């Protein structure tokens, strides 16, 4: 009885490689949005030069100084120092009284970026709407 010699197969089976690539693709598609961190900021249009004029009674101003200390001003009231832990709680209490409350964040020009982002992240995590950034207008003589 003669046996037939089998010829070696030169094809590579790529199906397992495709399966692995599809699994990796799904993993990356799911994990990528979870890695993105940031604070949603609604920036104004560049051509628009009108400033917002909110009602003082419906405005809270959060100020950050160079040392990273936080200050709150409710409406036209007096500015007072507040700890980082109490910041969101005080704003949320005021938000219960006035649902149309606008929060403005003001920072010294020499403040580290970390402190401004910290305030924005705290407010965002607490679900506080209507957060804006305060700036000074540039004088025409300084712009040229």
Name the pTM for this structure: 0.56
- What is the CATH number that goes with domain 56-136? 3.30.420.270
Q: Which helix (H) or strand (E) holds 96?
A: helix 84-97
- Residues 102 and 113: their CA atoms lie apart, in Å, by 22
Mean pLDDT of 62-88: 84
Q: Domain ranges in the chain?
A: 56-136
pLDDT at 134: 78
Mean pLDDT of 6-27: 88
92-125 per-position pLDDT tens digit: 888 888 777 788 888 877 888 888 888 888 888 8
Sheet holding 102-107, edge to edge: 80-82, 70-74, 59-64, 102-107, 131-133
pLDDT at 128: 77
Q: Is the pLDDT of residue 24 over 90?
A: yes
Listed residue (100, 88, 95, 87) closest to 55, CA to CA: 100
Express as a percent the part of the chain with pLDDT over 70.
77
Q: Is the pLDDT of residue 42 over 60?
A: no
Listed residue (89, 135, 73) closest to 81, CA to CA: 73
Q: Which of residues 50 and 110 earns the better pLDDT score?
A: 110
- Backbone φ and ψ for 104, nearest 5 degrees, come out as -115, 135
- Residues 14 and 31: their CA atoms lie apart, in Å, by 26
CB atoms within 10 A of CB 70: 20
- Residues 2 and 144: their CA atoms lie apart, in Å, by 98
- Residues 10 and 139: their CA atoms lie apart, in Å, by 76
pLDDT category of residue 17 using cuts at 50, 70 and 90: very high
Mean pLDDT of 73-78: 78
Judge whether 89 and 128 are in contact, CB under 8 Å.
no
């Amino acid at each position: 009885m003669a046996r037939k010699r089998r010829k070696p197969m030169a094809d590579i089976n790529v199906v397992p490689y495709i399966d692995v690539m599809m699994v990796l693709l799904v993993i990356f598609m799911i994990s990528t949005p979870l890695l993105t961190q940031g604070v949603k900021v609604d920036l104004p249009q560049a051509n628009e030069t009108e400033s917002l004029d909110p009602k003082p009674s419906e405005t809270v101003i959060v100020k950050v100084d160079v040392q990273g200390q936080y200050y709150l001003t409710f409406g036209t009231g007096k500015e007072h120092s507040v700890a980082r832990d109490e910041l969101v709680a005080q704003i949320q209490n005021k938000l219960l009284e006035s649902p149309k409350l606008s929060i403005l964040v003001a920072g010294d020009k020499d403040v580290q970026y970390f402190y401004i982002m910290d305030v924005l992240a705290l407010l965002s995590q607490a679900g506080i709407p209507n957060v804006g950034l305060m700036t000074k207008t540039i004088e025409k003589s300084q712009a040229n």
